């Protein structure tokens, strides 16, 4: 008889006096400041700066009962250059991801829907790419939108990037050990008018009372896409520091092959804070980037007296050697607008993250180097991720 699916656990929150809070080694935390400074100016980095200050505060004391069983995790990623007061290049991205609990295998585990098992059986050899302490299946859907800088021109702007929308779904297979995560992904998608990039951007602009872009008739033509991605992540160290602080460093490296994008990439993330999550960092929207699902030693899976905890700041870097990028090189089999891409692109991010009960919330400000030769300067955008474990 297959094991029963655990019922959704109940979370109980009880406000406790600050004097009752104890950390894991039973040393008392400092008292919470009486107030947060008021009147923070709303500037380009105001949101990131003010919330970064919040992340340095000691935990608010609450009691929570969390599940002992391996959990399910839901991730929501939202990115937009609104946070940098621009509206060009990579201008908007959203992704929803569903991460399974630890599985016995990818094909016959009773916790997976039948249609997922049937799909996975088509990739038997691929799914046995590596043995690990645990295996997780990640299913995602997402959309990316790219535009030139001039929103008024109806004609083709030859020296600026093409208009493009990208709608996709992802099947990801993760094999995890304590300090290593190997990921294989199959991305299936669509570029062109059928990806609804114009309609999505017009809806967002109408809601914000912003002028819409006039040149969407010049967008890339319809084309189905497929991409195979591999990435490995390693936690190279994790150490305790004075004041109950911890820090760690997580490296990553891999590559992708497909008509939507072919590249090699590598980089890492440094984290500093309290009660660091037992995961593999905080990623912006990118292939193989779903790494916020908690491991067996994650504080989200322990009953604890603090519901607001896990404060940390992070610095991350991802460098890509780009062989193909459909959003710059244009359509694969049809004539379309294209520009001369830069062979190396780097994303650098600074941000903060914290845990609230079974939630993980993160924000990062991302700086991306020039992606094509005619691009006059780098690009910036904000990245928000919300993860819920149940």
The pLDDT, as a whole number, for residue 128 is 57
Q: Which 3 state secondary structure label does DSSP give 329?
A: helix
**The predicted structure's pLDDT at residue 174:** 86
Chain centre distance of CA 108: 28
Interval 224-255: pLDDT, tens: 999 999 999 999 999 999 999 999 999 999 99
In this prediction, residues 110-138 reach a mean pLDDT of 67
Residue 294 has pLDDT above 90, yes or no: no
Which domains does the chain possess?
42-389 (2.40.128.140)
pLDDT digits (tens, 9 = 90+) for 52-110: 444 444 444 333 434 445 578 899 999 998 888 888 999 999 999 998 887 776 776 77
The residue ranking higher by pLDDT, 65 or 360, is 360
Least confident range of 81-90, 100-109, 329-338, 340-349: 100-109
Q: Is 278 in contact with 71 (CB distance < 8 Å)?
A: no
Question: Residue 386 burial by CB count (10 A; 0-12/13-18/19+): exposed, middle or buried?
Answer: middle
Considering 17-31, 36-50, 55-69, 315-329, the range whose residues carry the highest mean pLDDT is 315-329
Burial 293-322 (b: 16+ CB within 10 A, else e): bbbeebbbbeebbbbbbbbbbbebebbbeb
Average pLDDT for residues 286-314, to the nearest whole number?
A: 79
Tokens describing residue 27: 């040393």
Q: pLDDT value at position 35?
A: 40
Flag whether pLDDT at 18 surpasses 50: no
Q: CB neighbours of 89 closer than 8 A, spacing ≥ 6? A: 81, 146, 147, 149, 161, 368, 371, 375, 379
- pLDDT of amino acid 137: 86
Higher pLDDT, 36 or 80: 80
pLDDT at 115 over 90: no
Q: Do 137 and 116 meet the contact criterion of CB atoms below 8 Å apart?
A: yes
Alpha helices in the chain, H assignment, sequence order: 46-55, 114-120, 124-127, 197-207, 326-329
Is residue 386's pLDDT more than 70?
A: yes
Q: What is the pLDDT of residue 307?
A: 76
pLDDT value, residue 127: 53
Per the CB < 8 A criterion, the answer to whether 136 and 280 are in contact is no
- Asked if residue 114 lies in contact with residue 130, where contact means CB atoms within 8 angstroms, the answer is no
pLDDT over 60 at 10, yes or no: no
Residue 75 in tokens: 């991730």
Cβ(355)–Cβ(310) under 8 Å?
A: yes
Q: Which pLDDT value is given to residue 124?
A: 53
pLDDT tens digit sequence for 361-374: 999 999 999 999 99
Q: How far apart are CA 175 and CA 271, in angstroms?
A: 23
- Condensed to tens digits (0 to 9), the pLDDT of residues 267-285 reads 999 999 999 998 898 877 8
* Residue count (the chain): 390
Residue 337: is its pLDDT beyond 50? yes
Res 299: pLDDT? 80
Q: Is the sign of the CA dihedral 116, 117, 121, 127 positive or negative? A: positive
Q: Please state the pTM of the whole predicted model.
A: 0.79
- Would you place residue 130 in the very low, low, confident or very high pLDDT band (cuts 50, 70, 90)? low
Mean pLDDT, the chain, whole residue set = 81
- Token pair 């959309």: residue: 143
pLDDT at 347: 96
Residue with tokens 């994008």: 261
Tens digit of each residue's pLDDT (9 = 90 or more) over 165-215: 999 999 988 888 889 998 899 999 999 999 999 999 999 999 989 999 999
DSSP assignment of 23-46: -TTSPPPPPPPS-PPP-----TTH
In three-state secondary structure terms, 309 is: strand
CB neighbours of residue 84 within 10 Å:
16
Q: Could you tell me what percent of the chain has a pLDDT over 90?
A: 55
78 forms beta bridges with 94, 384
On whether the CB atoms of residues 337 and 329 are closer than 8 A, the answer is no
Say how far apart CA 169 and CA 192 lie, in whole Å. 15
Task: Give residue 70's pLDDT.
Answer: 59
Q: Is beta strand 359-368 parallel, antiparallel or unpaired with respect to 73-80?
A: unpaired
pLDDT at 129 over 60: no
């Amino acid at each position: 008889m297959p094991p029963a699916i655990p019922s959704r656990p109940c979370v109980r929150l009880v406000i406790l006096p600050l004097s009752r809070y104890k950390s894991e080694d039973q040393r008392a935390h400092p008292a919470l400041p009486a107030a947060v400074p008021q009147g923070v100016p709303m500037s380009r980095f105001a949101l990131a700066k003010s919330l970064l200050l919040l992340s340095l505060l000691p935990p608010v004391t609450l009691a929570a009962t969390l599940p002992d069983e391996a959990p399910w995790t839901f991730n929501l990623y939202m990115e937009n250059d609104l946070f940098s007061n621009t509206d060009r290049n990579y201008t908007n991205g959203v992704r929803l991801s569903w991460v399974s609990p630890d599985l016995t295998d990818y094909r016959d585990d009773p916790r997976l829907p039948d249609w997922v098992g049937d799909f996975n059986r088509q990739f038997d050899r691929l799914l046995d790419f590596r043995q690990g302490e645990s295996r997780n299946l990640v299913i995602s859907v997402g959309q990316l939108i790219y535009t030139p800088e001039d929103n008024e021109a109806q004609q083709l702007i030859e020296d600026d990037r093409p208009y493009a929308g990208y709608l996709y779904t992802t099947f990801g297979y993760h094999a995890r050990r304590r300090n290593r995560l190997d990921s294989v992904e199959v991305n299936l998608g669509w570029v062109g008018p059928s990806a609804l990039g114009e309609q999505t951007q017009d809806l967002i602009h109408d809601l914000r009372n912003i002028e819409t872009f006039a040149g969407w008739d010049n967008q890339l033509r319809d084309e189905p896409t497929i991409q195979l991605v591999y990435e490995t992540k390693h936690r190279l160290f994790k150490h305790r520091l004075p004041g109950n602080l911890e820090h760690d460093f997580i490296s990553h490296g891999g590559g992708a092959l497909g008509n939507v994008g072919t590249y090699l990439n590598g980089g890492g993330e440094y984290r500093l804070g309290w009660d660091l999550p037992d995961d593999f960092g905080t990623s912006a929207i990118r292939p193989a980037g779903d790494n916020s699902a908690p491991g067996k030693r994650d504080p989200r899976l322990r009953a604890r007296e603090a519901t607001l905890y896990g404060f940390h700041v992070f610095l991350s870097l991802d460098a890509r050697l780009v062989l193909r990028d459909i959003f710059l090189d244009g359509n694969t089999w049809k004539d379309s607008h294209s520009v001369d891409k830069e062979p190396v692109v780097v994303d650098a991010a600074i941000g903060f993250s914290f845990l609230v009960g079974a939630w993980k919330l993160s924000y990062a400000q991302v700086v991306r180097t020039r992606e094509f030769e005619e691009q006059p300067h780098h690009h910036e955008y904000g990245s928000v991720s919300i993860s819920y474990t149940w």
